[in-house]
Chains A and B, each alone.
Chain A
Amino acid sequence: MNKPVLLVVAPMPVFPTSAGNRKRLLATCELLENEGFLLDFAYVAHEDQIYRRFGQEPPTDMAAMCTRFRRTYRIEVERPIKIKTRAHAFGLDDWSVEELDDFLTAYFKQTPECGAILVNYVFLSKCLASVPAGIVTIIDTHDRFGNRKAQYAVTRGDPNFFYCTDKDEAAGLRRADLILAIQERERDHFRYSTGRDVLVLPPALKVERNFGPPRRLEAVGFVGHGNDANLVSISTFADHWSRLWRPELPILKIAGEICTALPSEPRPGIELLGYVAKLEDFYDAVELIVAPMSMGTGLKLKVAEGLAFGKPVVGTALAFEGFPTRSADHCLPGPEAVANRIAAISDEPSAMGHLIDECVTLFRDYARAAEEAGVTFAKAVKARIGVSAGVPMRSAASEPDLRQVVAYGRVEIVEGEAPAAPSLFTAEGVKHVATERPYYDDPIRDLGTYSPCARRWFVRRGATITTEANSPLAGRRIIAAPALIDCGSQDEQMLWGVRSLSEARPDWLSTGARLLQVGNDWTLETLWPTALIAQGVRLSMFLIPNAFAPAVPVKIAKTMMLFGSPSRTSVVEKTCGDWPLAPAALRLEAASARDATGWRAVVVLAVGLVGLIDMSAETVS
């Protein structure tokens, strides 16, 4: 039987399904597959970049996605995403991705069987201009961005992540044939703002556990991703809970990435579980789920998921927005009220029994509405799309392929090509150094450019001592491993790794620098990215010796900007992002009583970018 093909475009991966938006994405994909669609998936690697910017290795599981979808593509985002704006709002297309436009041109040329595209988030909607006529275009909104900024007023927080004006958001949504809202209030808003019909599609979650009988509360739980809405809400709740906690009250167990953003000191009544490998283990360890949300848009998946795992949920009105609520326990005014309510019912079986009854009804009604909405949505897409010819499934991704091991000084550089190369990430004595940044040679014709596979390099302690060798990274465009930014140590293995990536093609390059030595004071005169001048910017800096030896970490004691033009020999090259460079004198803390001669370059690692200051032309005065 012929199946219609639909391309899903998302700025987040489906796997690991560790955040609400990923769960929503997976639920939508499952719905479409159940309704007979074949799915291609294009991951626009926004979230990978964000992880790296905050010094974390992105946990994206490309291998799982390759297995899951008919075809999987990865679109690397070259330009750094502006996480904040100091204007009153982001422009609608500030987060659009040029590489995605090229990808879609290539994809639709070579995939005539595809009849529809589902773009996740309105901030990627500009790409729909690159979709040929006749293809059904859909935007899944996930959230409402028009009023997001105002939510930060609750805590006077610094607004970040995407927000725009209502007018711009509506203009973005009107680019699509079909608009999906995640809950009814947002559907009504988008209908009003766009003047168009909008479908509501709450995510359908399968029942994981049935509700049990009422029990005395020993533990209540909260699981969440590390976003601002979770942080603000659970912080307020936890502060209050800790103050009112006494031994007869249940422990609050917090799980998920959110734990990394919370204070790690022990507090009464609170236990941080961190990242949990199996969600069911977390749900089995608590009797009730709290949803004390005081900010956030969209639909709170944590509420639906808690119910799907058979746990009663107590929360704020905001947390339950979009759910067919009837109980006062589902429309409490704020985090403090949620804490007070749980304290009141923790040892009240009748109240718990009543709450469980309400939750059973709520979840049943929600699930029914979600199922009906799913059928309506699928019908609406099918009504617009022609049924395509049958297409074969792609075979599952192969295991990591170790292609090359090169002796490099006292280490080996191990090169692998795989969606994730997970075995190397966890191998003893092996450390990640870099991932290849794809070079889009022929971006609108060669679909192979968007392969989910990426070449990665690791350092492994090796017995071989070579006097000279070329790094396999030489001349390649790379993304440095986030761990290197904090590698100011004397870890020789990693310092060989830094040495190896000094031969790669940097994201910014400055030549004509001079290293001056007066006594023990070293001063580097160079063109320097002005964005790195501010205090508190995370960066690491390494001197690369002329001799074949590991990199040497150095620290900047003081930065002074210079009046006047750079030296005649200065050349600046920027391949990634807009990082203005200006003449500066950096006073360095010399790592040891070394001579200031004999260095050929400085490697600067910051915000996920590799910078190189080349001193080979002119070095010491």
Chain B
Amino acid sequence: MTDAETTVDPGEGRIAALAAARLHWEALFLNERLIEFPSTPRPNVSIVIVSRGARHLLATTLANLSRYLPTAEEAFEVILVDNASDAETRRLFPKLTNVTLILNEKNVGFGPACDQGAVIARANRILFLNPDVDLMPGAIKALVDGFSLFDRVGIVGARLVFPGGFLQEAGAGFVDDAQVTHPYLRGMQDASAPEALFAREVGYVSGAVMMVDRELYTTLGGFDRDFDPAYFEDTDLCIRAQRLGWSVVYQPRAVAIHYENATSPDRATAAALIDRHRGVFLDKHRKWLFDSGAHPAGFMAREMNRFRLRVLYVDDRTPHLDLGSGLPRANSIVNAMASLGYQVTLFPAYESDDEPADRYRDLHPTVEILKPQGGTKLILDLCRERAGYYDVLWVSRPHNIAMVCHAMLAGGRSPRDLAQRIVFDTEAVFAARDGVEAVARGRGLTAEALQGGLKKELRFAALADKVVCVSPSEERLLRAAELLNVVVLGHSVEPRPGTNSFADRSGVLFVGSLKHEGSPNVDSIDWLLNHTWPKVRRAFGEDVRLVLAGDIAETARDRFENAGATVMGRLDRLDRVFNEVRVAVAPTRFAGGVPHKVHEAVSHGLPMVVTPILKRQVNWEEGEGLLSAPWQDPDAFASTVTSLLRNKALWNTTRERGLARIAADHSAHTFARAIRNICEAETVA
């Protein structure tokens, strides 16, 4: 059963919620309970709630809030401003502890009441919260975090959900039509749809859950009195903030059930106020919003920033650091793009994670992650639905390049119908890897066969603005295959050496996925254990350990354990094992791409012994983080491992030179700059 099928209609959901709120009120008084908040001497968030009758939902809102367990960063105070509620509602107030109360004897309106609360707020972040909202765990922290997602953020809003589970609002924008304001995805049955799960700059967020920077609020002088008693004051505040250069951000991780219209006057009065205030709002902002020439239209209207670079990134699956097969590099690319301020849509063609938390475990919260849909159809759907939206189409791996191009050809389109700039990332050139494997396994290989394989694999690559490969050696190969516009983009890793010294460490480590029998990694460990490891043990001592870290097939596990290796399986964090062992090995006999395992180990200050093919792929000098020995000479490989295990001076020099190389070539700064050069075209006047 999908999430969407478990939702109920908002009207029914609201009835159920109101019934529960009535019972909650009854129990509160029957059982003489209090709604207690802790005393907060130095709050980081001031929550301002404006009440006006609707006692049942107000009590539920406050009770839910009192059960919220804030971390230190989200320590909050509660300020309740009551707009002349009825006596029944005011019976609630004596039951509140550590709540600052402001009791207005007449209804001063929503905006002025908010201002009253904001004036006495002590924190730098003010959260305006409607009296009919239930905040989900971590919502306040998520709102606070929203301020650091973009430049100069002034206001952050939440993902609002109707009772019953339908989506109420995932940020909102403006369209030059009769309605003007358009909450994004309102009424969508699946409140966790991919389009609702990424943070972005929006036109406005609802005042139901709105966190405002105190400096901004003061600069703006609070809500505008033109919108008293209510409606459009929150929208106006968001626009005035943006006109001063502040951003308004939608934060999907702040989830809130909003019962909506709990304190509104009757429907006709509300509708009249909305219509009148829409006019006031348009008088103030129409020119800025719609006549400046900068307002995003069509699909782009869901975002406010027209000038952000938009990238559609296609790969096999949602890329995570713990998956291998080039996915850590894809993860670095996507995250670097997001950090640069690009709006990235990730299209995992075949596989993703079910749970949003898994999907986003190591991906930037501003990345939109679509559902995997087998490729062709979705590409053509995107072409139709998001025409003109993307600036860059980045397709990773040759088979996905072929998939995209075939889809386009079948639909009578060109990839440039989807984006102005096309980037094809070869990731790993399989023809090259297959060629090396053929040689390693004793089969012949001709230059013509290699060229033919390359051309077949990359037959569409010529139409790209950039053909990205992972190493200088593959760059040479691609250029030899007459490909144009080839550029190298390796890995992004920062030096983070473990603190243990040579003497504190022992053993040898291999890191990599051993999940598939016949893969280059499994082949390399079979070769190591059969031909080299016994020689190392003879030379260094029987107690030297070989540790294997990474997913592993059961058959391989048995075989490798029987041969004396310590199999640890997949580890979420490798820092500890990198800090405990003395040497890492990568006895790879055939491979494409560039070995992430080498960069990872060397960046952790762990010197390596590798085969010449890997050394060529990383393009480092001998002694820069690694020593090499050919797999064809098991004695040489074993003696190189033994030297590095024994020789402290050699170990230290190799380690330091490797860290220096990582810092020079693979820093986040260098990586981001390379990505910018790939994605952003030369400016044409």
Contact = CB atoms under 8 A, between A and B. Distances in A.
A86 B684 contact: no
Contact of B462 (A566, A568, A579, A606): A566
Interface residues of A, number: 52
- Using C-beta atoms within 8 Å of the partner chain, give the interface range for chain B: 35 or more
A173 to B, nearest CB: 18
Given A158-B307, A534-B420, A581-B485, A86 B462 contact: no
Contacts of B673: 91
B482 interface: yes
A398 to B, nearest CB: 34
A500 to B, nearest CB: 24
Contacts of A566: 462, 482, 484
Interface stretch (A8-16, A149-157, A458-466): A149-157
Contact of B683 (A84, A565, A581): A84
Contacts of A532: 684
A540 to B, nearest CB: 13
Nearest to A532: B684
A583 interface: yes
Given A153-B243, A580-B484, A561 B685 contact: no
A55 B416 CA distance: 28
B475 interface: no
Given A534-B684, A582-B484, A87 B309 contact: yes
Nearest to A165: B151
Given A53-B685, A533-B416, A564-B460, A159 B466 contact: no
Contacts of A533: 416, 420
Nearest to A90: B676
A560 B673 CA distance: 31
A220 B117 CA distance: 48
A530 B681 contact: yes
Interface stretch (B13-21, B124-132, B288-296, B604-612): B288-296
Contacts of B482: 565-566, 568
A386 interface: no
A379 interface: no
Contacts of B677: 578
Nearest to B482: A565
A87 B341 contact: yes
Contacts of A607: 682-685
A582 B245 contact: no
A338 to B, nearest CB: 19
A537 interface: yes
Contacts, number: 135
A565 B682 contact: no
Given A563-B405, A581-B484, A531 B243 contact: no
Nearest to A153: B245
Interface in B453-486: 455, 459-460, 462-466, 482-485
A538 interface: yes
A531 to B, nearest CB: 5
Interface in A542-574: 560-566, 568, 572
Interface string B409-435: 100001010001110000000000000
The SS class assigned to the B binding surface is loop
Contacts of A583: 462-463
B294 A88 contact: no
Contact of B421 (A153, A530, A560, A581): A530
A54 interface: yes
A537 B684 contact: yes
B340 interface: yes
Nearest to A565: B462
B682 A80 contact: yes
A533 B391 CA distance: 13
B420 A91 contact: no
Contact of A156 (B295, B420, B421): B295
A538 B684 CA distance: 8
Nearest to A564: B462
B676 A85 contact: yes
B68 interface: no
B342 A527 contact: no
Contacts of A152: 245
A538 B685 contact: yes
B622 interface: no
B152 interface: yes
Contacts of A582: 422, 462-465, 484-485
Contact of B294 (A80, A158, A561): A158
Nearest to B673: A91
A580 B306 CA distance: 25
Contacts of A150: 151-152, 244-246
Contacts of A531: 681-682, 684
Contacts of A86: 307-309, 341-342, 391, 679-680
Interface string A416-448: 000000000000000000000000000000000
A83 to B, nearest CB: 5
B292 A87 contact: no
Given A157-B292, A581-B485, 10 more contacts: A82-B680, A86-B307, A86-B391, A87-B340, A149-B245, A155-B288, A155-B292, A158-B306, A565-B462, A572-B484
13 contacts: A53-B683, A86-B308, A88-B340, A147-B245, A153-B244, A156-B295, A157-B292, A533-B416, A561-B414, A565-B455, A580-B485, A583-B462, A607-B683
Pick the 5 closest A-B CB pairs, nearest first. Answer: A150-B245, A88-B341, A86-B309, A156-B294, A153-B245
Interface of A: 53-55, 80-89, 91, 147, 149-159, 527, 530-534, 537-538, 560-566, 568, 572, 577-583, 606-607
